[in-house]
Amino acid sequence: MKSYRKELWFHVPSRRAFVNITGTVEDCLRESGIREGLCLVNAMHITASVFINDDETGLHQDYERWLETLAPHEPVSRYLHNRTGEDNGDAHLKRQVMGREVVVAVTGGALDFGPWEQIFYGEFDGRRKKRVLVKIIGE
């Protein structure tokens, strides 16, 4: 069995964003040479997420509105976590809802997606450099 590992780095200039990283992950798969196996993609920061869904603008706006309803950024005093001097308590909760990682089957050298599925990096406390791990195992 072969193993491949690569770190992807992101510096999102806004506080929140959804970045389609499907093409980058596909590049990693080609680099790996693995034809059959599994591809793990996970956020290596506790205020960011990796998830799979449709790349549709309205859906992304719905996510933004829904997440802000679940865990509004302000007032920052609502979060006990922010007593540490941070202002990102909401970002931790948003990450928890959206998830840390995805695993996608690799079949015939391609990511084995369902219809419309794409991989996204979700940023909930941006404006600094963060990383995503891509780990591919197989043959």
> For residue 91, how far is the Cα from the chain centroid?
13
Nearest to 52 by CA among 108, 137, 113: 113
Question: Residue 85's domain is classified under what CATH number?
Answer: 2.60.120.460
Taking the whole predicted model, whether its pTM rises above 0.75 is answered as: yes
For 65-101, what is each residue's pLDDT tens digit? 999 999 999 999 999 999 999 999 999 999 999 999 9
Range of the domain at 117: 2-138
Domain count, the chain: 1
Nearest to 105 by CA among 51, 36, 49: 36
